[in-house]
Structure 1
């Protein structure tokens, strides 16, 4: 079962528990153990297994695919993906204003995760919002969810969800599983946000799995001065999410 289903169940359980007199209940939070690491990979958790792709992308990892000088589409691989780090000052990280970087090239220089804005669209699929891993500082606010949420995963600092989609990448004229961001719309009848997952795609959560951030060689254009220690999980695929919650 996917993590988000577990989270929704936990919210429901908390609502029921709130109706019980305080003296008759004891809530013991129980969340997956985490560790601290400067480097991490981003592992896919499929939000709703009923909408998973074939083959399943659950447990796949984020990896850029080259589409030009300094440009990479964000895609998924069944092998180990790129190593990323959370970049920003302590205050920026705390308030979700950091960015997610990776090092690439020779000498190494920073590649950031970019998410197109709500008024920007992919050139080939004009109803979809592209996610890329390009040279530069990345989109500010694309960061690991910060306190007080007890789970750790990538957020775009916007209302919506990352999705995995089988799409043809023109640079190769070949299909890859690429990552997009689907912005939510507001339902006035329920006063709740509604996911708008593109046809043929599946909603995903990108969860940090701890890894070692390699040392930068002399002459690097990248810098790890503001690479923050991040909370991450030792083995994302081994976590049985339904076991956890408040």
Structure 2
């Protein structure tokens, strides 16, 4: 269930991405916490979807037993279950999970570079499924920065995140889904490049009698939310 986050992976995540951030903004303060909400930051503020997704949060949409697709949710995190980094005490292995208000974990999973969405060939879907997450996904510092703009959710390999309006067969509706664009690939023209900023949050207790545990939840760098 747990996936190793090696030094090479972290270095790779800090390398060049096919989705480039073109502008920077004044960043709030950094802190550390055991949980975080993942907020959308546009890589290029001039390129957005309609309606805007700037400042919205990653969410989930149920598509089967133990399966959710990652979507762009609302502009408020009120009542949202936060994500957390779970791993061994020496941080040799970790993955990004969310309890989703249940008594068991749901991990962020990214389709491998050699796999793609059945409906949209060439696109690498992102899911939040019951169990562990994908190798390499985690909160990282990029570009050697020491401010809030440098702390992001890193992917499983060099590349970047994108948001796309897509028809989801299970829900029979259009949704703003999350994709991963690996290095050397190009995001579809109708998608926008994004990053996910981890905003510090409190980790709720698990329900009484849960067979899951928060014993190995790690503190990570995160951004202090604006008041």
Q: TM-score, normalised by structure 2?
A: 0.81
Partner residue of 1:16? Answer: none
Aligned match for 2:70, one of 63, 70, 74: 74
CA RMSD of aligned residues (A): 2.3
Q: Displacement, 1:92? A: 3.2
**CA drift at 1:35:** 1.6
Gaps of 5+ in 2: 1-19
Q: Residue 122 of structure 1 is aligned with which of 101, 117, 126?
A: 117
Cα deviation code 1:46-95 (max 9, x no counterpart):
001222111111101011111111100000112324410011135436xx
Q: Is 2:151 the partner of 1:152?
A: yes
Structure 1: gaps (5+ residues) = 10-29, 186-194, 239-246
Report the counterpart of residue 196 of structure 1 in structure 2. Answer: 186
Cα offset for 1:149?
4.5
The structure that is helix-richer by fraction is: 1
Deviation at 1:120, TM superposition (A): 0.9
What are the residue-to-residue correspondences of 1:169-208 with 2, within 5 Å?
169-185=168-184, 196-208=186-198
Q: Is the Cα–Cα contact under 8 Å of residues 152 and 197 in structure 2 kept in the other structure?
A: yes
Structure 1 residues 40-49 or 77-86, which shifts more?
77-86
> Which stretch shows the higher mean deviation, 195-204 or 145-154?
145-154
**Which of 210, 213, 220 is equivalent to 1:230?**
220
1:43 aligned onto 2:42: no
Task: Provide the aligned length of Structure 1 versus Structure 2.
Answer: 201
Q: Aligned pair 1:4/2:21, yes or no?
A: yes
CA drift at 1:121 = 0.7
Match of 1:214 in 2: 204
Q: Deviation of residue 98 (structure 1)?
A: 2.2
User: Are the counterparts in 1 of residues 134 and 156 from structure 2 also a CA contact under 8 Å?
Assistant: no
Describe the superposition over 1:90-131 as per-residue Cα deviations: whole angstroms up to 9, x where unpaired: 5436xxx5211000364x100000011100111111120010
Shift of 1:146: 4.6
Following superposition, which runs of at least 4 residues in structure 1 exceed 6 angstroms of deviation? Answer: none
Residue 62 of structure 1 corresponds to: 58
2:96 alignment partner in structure 1: 100
Larger Rg belongs to:
1
